[in-house]
Every structure is written in C-alpha cells, then in structure tokens.
Amino acid sequence: MREYKVVVLGSGGVGKSALTVQFVTGTFIEKYDPTIEDFYRKEIEVDASPSVLEILDTAGTEQFASMRDLYIKNGQGFILVYSLVNQQSFQDIRPMRDQIIRVKRYEKVPVILVGNKVDLESEREVSSNEGRALAEEWGCPFMETSAKTTEEQIHHSSSQQVPRQSSFFLWISYLNFFVMLITVA
C-alpha cells in the first residue's frame, strides 16, 4: 500500500489538531491541548488503489520551531493553517512556506492553504480575499473551514465560492487532489 506523508503547519491555537482529528475520526475536540507532535493515519483511495495518508500534526508554538526543519524534510505535502480570527496567524504562514521551500529546495512543493474557524464570522480578522490572494500568489488550493461546525467554502481561482456540506468528503477530495500533486512532485 502506498503511503503519503502530509505535514500540518500553523501557529499555536489555529485549529490544526481539531481539523486533523475531524478529518481522521469525524469528531471535534472541544478542549485545547497544545500539541508537540501527533501522527495520524487514514486509509484513502488514490486512482482506485488503496493508500495510506500519514498526517503529522505539529506544534504551533515557537518553543518547538527548531523541529520544523525535520518535519519539512520528511513531508511530501503541506497543509498550512491559519485562524480567520487571528491576523497574526495569517502573517505567520508566509515564513513557514518560505521555510518549506528552503528545506525542500524546491518552489513547487504541494501546499494547501486553509483558513480555519469560519464559524466565528463576527470575529473575523482575515478576509477571504486575503487568503485567496495569497493562495493565487503561491499557486495552491485554498479553503475556509470550521473544524467545529464542518462548514467550509472552497475557493476557486475564478473567485467563485462553492459551499459544501460534508467536511469529510471535502477533505477526501482535497487530499486526493493533494496526493496527486505529491505524486507529480
């Protein structure tokens, strides 16, 4: 069975663990418990063949930033997560992508940009346009989601938004696309 290694990166408290657990188990973690490093495995189908997605959920605090090079070195694709209710978390994403490019020595590393906590719309600090512009600059897929309510909007480069109902199926389709990018890279 083919394995794909995906690394989830972002600042502390943006919901990396909540998104990962929601994808893997279909449940939302209510309590915030800062992660140092957690591995998850999920069986998926890629080109009608069973595969395993190995997801590394990383620490978001600067205390563990030195470990990031090792995570990046071993990763094949990256999910960069920021909180829609925290502008600083959005600003922190760019240096993380720069670090990925530096460590991988390759500009076209597969990345998905994810704005989390869309359920907290009244507290929003990062607009959809900001996320979309960054994703277009990087040439990567972009979505806004909520690990809590499983609402999401997938953003296409045409600036058209298509609301989705099921987080699980959206993540599967995104990750299947993502795995295809990893395979090509």
Say which CATH topology domain 2-184 has: Rossmann fold (3.40.50)
pLDDT at residue 162 is higher than 70: no
Instruction: Calculate the CA dihedral of residues 56, 178, 169, 5 and round it to 10 degrees.
Output: -20
Maximum average pLDDT range among 1-5, 54-58, 135-139, 156-160: 135-139
pLDDT, tens only, 77-86? 899 999 999 9
Four-residue CA torsion sign, 80, 93, 90, 142: negative
What average pLDDT does the segment 20-44 reach? 72
Integer CA distances (angstroms), 49 to 40, 78, 171, 179, in order: 20, 22, 18, 12
At 174 the pLDDT is: 56
Neighbours of 75 (CB within 10 A): 25
Rg (CA), the chain: 15
pLDDT at residue 64 is higher than 80: no
Query: Confidence class of residue 39 from pLDDT cuts 50, 70 and 90?
Result: confident
Please measure the distance between the N-terminal and C-terminal CA atoms of the chain and give it in whole angstroms.
19
Least confident among 104-113, 141-150, 166-175: 166-175
Query: Confidence class of residue 4 from pLDDT cuts 50, 70 and 90?
Result: confident
Please answer whether residues 145 and 151 qualify as being in contact, where contact means their C-beta atoms are separated by less than 8 angstroms.
Answer: yes
Could you give the CA distance from residue 127 to residue 60 in angstroms, rounded to a whole number?
22
The reported pTM is 0.78
At 6 the pLDDT is: 87
Strand pairing class (37-46; 49-58): antiparallel
At 71 the pLDDT is: 86
Please answer whether residues 146 and 83 qualify as being in contact, where contact means their C-beta atoms are separated by less than 8 angstroms.
Answer: no
More confident of the two residues 150 and 172: 150
Domain ranges of the chain: 2-184
